[in-house]
Amino acid sequence: MKKSVYIQSVGSVSAQKTFDNSSFLEDIITYNDTTIRVIDPNYKEYIPPAAARRMAKGIKMSTVSAKNALTEASIEESEIDAIIVGTGLGCIGDSEKFVKDIIDNDEQFLTPTRFIQSSHNTVAGQIALGMGCKGHNFTYVHSSISLESSLLDAKLQLEEDEAQTILVGAVDELVDHHVNTHHLIGHIKEEPTETSNVLKSQTKGAIFSEGAHFFVLSNKKNEGSYAELLGIKTFNTLQIEAVETEIIHFLNDNSLDPEDIDLLILGNNGDVEFDTYYQTLDEGTFASHPKAYFKHLSGEYDTANGFGFWLANKILKGSLVPSAVLRGKHEIPSPKSILIYNQYRGENHSLLLLKKC
């Protein structure tokens, strides 16, 4: 008998005021830019300044986000059986600096810190080190399904009762060289764009961003639980014509039908070339389903769907869909089941299914 999997707590550092979990997208920050950064929490409250000085930003954001998730779950660090982190590029700021130093100094006068922090698994490793957690420790680095791979791994272990409590996280940082090069190939919008209008921009590319989202997952429900994680599926490729069919298959595999879904959360980022995947759901079976969006709030990055997953959890626990994530005026009273569909540039599609618990 497979055990059910629950999300017990959330932690978020994003371009919105999400690290304070007491509010829920009430005060929205809008930007007019091609890239946006996280609102920095007061890192000093979480990390001793001496340690923070050499820490990559990805590690700092993750530390805050993970600590908030652990605090909310009100569990001891020793109760964490495993740590699983997804990241598209790891602490890429340190990787870039290390490469730059290699080239600029002709392979001389290098120091190990930047190399160590550029190892993709540095976040999961440092969190384990900080907590003394000797359990299963994995890092997934598969672009826009890095978080989803981590959730799948955690779900597998919790269902089989190989672990009871797992810290799952996702982090990516925004750095200059990455931004400059992705401008060159048109993956970032050419012109500054109002985030509030980005989903209707009709231009190519996305607004790039960064963030860290951590969650405590468990196979034991309690009064604080946010939601039940029913299913996860990812696809390396998916034809645009197959999106609706695959979603229906996925729901059926989880003993649900389209009419059981109260809300779709979609990963539109305002890239006119690739939002077409989501637009197929405006017709056909899901035409009249309520739909919510979040990348006009979070921006786009490999683990941006961490914001989407955070959003779904907050909606299910609070029985409230904030108006900031809706287009037009909808009333969605107390949704019970949410499906999240995300993809990036037509690759690495993911479906996540959550239920109120």
Q: Which is nearer to another protein, 28 or 156 (CB)?
A: 156
Name beta bridge partners: 341: 266, 351
Interface ranges with another protein (CB under 8 A): 83, 88-90, 92, 95, 98-100, 102-103, 106-108, 110-112, 115-116, 118-122, 124-126, 128-129, 131-143, 145-146, 149, 153, 156, 159-160, 177-178, 180-182, 184-185, 187, 234-238, 242, 246, 302, 347-348
DSSP H helices, the chain, are: 49-54, 57-72, 92-104, 112-118, 122-131, 146-159, 176-184, 243-253, 276-279, 295-298, 305-318
Nearest distance, CB of residue 224 and another protein, angstroms: 27
3-class DSSP string for 232-270: EEEEEECCHHHHHHHHHHHHHHCCCCHHHCCEEEECCCC
Which region holds residue 86: left if phi is over 0, alpha if psi is between -120 and 50, else beta? beta
Nearest distance, CB of residue 121 and another protein, angstroms: 4
Measured CA to CA, the distance from residue 148 to residue 128 in angstroms comes to 20
Q: Which is nearer to another protein, 153 or 262 (CB)?
A: 153
Q: Which is nearer to another protein, 210 or 302 (CB)?
A: 302
Nearest distance, CB of residue 175 and another protein, angstroms: 11
Nearest distance, CB of residue 146 and another protein, angstroms: 7
Q: Which is nearer to another protein, 46 or 115 (CB)?
A: 115
Q: Which is nearer to another protein, 162 or 194 (CB)?
A: 162
Nearest distance, CB of residue 346 and another protein, angstroms: 11
Measured CA to CA, the distance from residue 274 to residue 264 in angstroms comes to 18
Contact call for residues 348 and 142 (beta carbons, < 8 A): yes
Contact call for residues 82 and 134 (beta carbons, < 8 A): no
Q: Which is nearer to another protein, 54 or 221 (CB)?
A: 54
Nearest distance, CB of residue 197 and another protein, angstroms: 27
